[in-house]
Amino acid sequence: MPRGRRRRTRAPALALCATALTRSALALAPIGAPAAAFTTELHRRQLSTKEDHTISLTDYFNNQYVGSLEIGTPPQKLTVVFDTGSSDLWLPAKKCGAKCGKHDTFDGSKSSTYEQVMNPHGTPAAFEVDYGSGRVTGAQARDTVTVGGLKIEKVKFGEVDYEDEEIREFMMDGIAGMAFPGLAMVTQPTLLELLHEQHPEVPYLFSVYLSTNPDDKKSHLAFGSYDLSLVGKNASWHYTPLVRRGDEDTTLRYWLTKLKGVELEVGDAWCAKGCYSIVDSGTSGLGLPDDVYDDFVAAVTRGLNCKDVTCYYASEDDFPDLSFSLEPDNVFPLRARDYVSCSRWGECVVKVQKASGSPYWILGDVFTEAYYTLYDVENLRVGFACEGECEGGGWHGKGGYVDVDDPSVWAQLLVAFAALSVVGILAHSCYRYAKIRRRTKRFYAAQAAAAPPMPPAPASPKPNVGEGDIESVAL
CA 146, CA 72: separation in Å to the nearest integer? 9
Calpha distance 110→76 (Å, rounded): 9
SS3 call for 259: strand
Q: Where are the alpha helices (DSSP H) in 135-190?
A: 165-168
Rounded distance between C-alpha atoms, residue 398 and residue 109, angstroms:
44
**β-pairing verdict for 64-71 and 58-60:** antiparallel
Task: Give the Cα separation of 324 and 330 in Å (integer).
Answer: 8
Q: What share of the chain is helix, strand, coil (3-state, %, to 5)?
A: 25, 30, 45
DSSP characters for 385-452? Answer: EEESS---GGGSS---SS------HHHHHHHHHHHHHHHHHHHHHHHHHHHHHHHHHHHHHHHHHHSP
For residue 178, the number of C-alpha atoms closer than 13 Å in the C-beta half-sphere is: 25
Nearest-angstrom CA–CA distance, 437 and 443: 10
Cβ-count burial of 401 within 10 angstroms (0-12 exposed, 13-18 middle, 19+ buried)? buried
The answer to whether the beta carbons of residues 216 and 209 sit under 8 Å apart is: no
Following DSSP, what letter does each residue of 111-127 receive, concatenated? -TT-EE-B-TTSSBPEE
Burial code of 286-297, b = ≥16 C-beta within 10 A, e = fewer?
bbbbeebbeebb
Residues 6 or more apart whose Cβ sits within 8 Å of residue 440? none
Helix (H, G, I), strand (E, B), or coil: what is residue 191?
A: helix
Query: Which residues participate in catalysis according to the annotation?
Result: 83, 280
Q: How far apart are CA 218 and CA 211, in angstroms?
A: 7
Alpha carbons within 13 A on the beta-carbon side of 119: 9
By three-state DSSP, how is residue 16 classified?
coil
CA pair distance 375, 322, nearest whole angstrom: 23
3-class DSSP assignment, residue 295: helix
